[in-house]
Amino acid sequence: MNNDTDIKGPAVKFPPPLVFIIFMLAGYALQFVKLFNIKINPEFSTVFTAIAIVVFLSGCAIIAISILAFKRAQTHVEPWQPTSAIISTGIFAYSRNPIYLAFCLITIGVGIYLDNGWITLSFIPSAFIIFNIAIKKEELYLAEKFGEEYLQYKDKVRRWF
Highest mean pLDDT among 7-16, 19-28, 44-53: 19-28
> Span 129-134, mean pLDDT?
97
Please state the domain extents for the chain: 16-33+44-156
> Span 76-87, mean pLDDT?
93
Q: Please state, in angstroms and as integers, the Cα–Cα distance from residue 22 to each residue in 26, 28, 119, 138, 142, following that order.
A: 6, 10, 10, 22, 28
Mapping DSSP to helix (H, G, I), strand (E, B) and coil, where does residue 8 land? Answer: coil
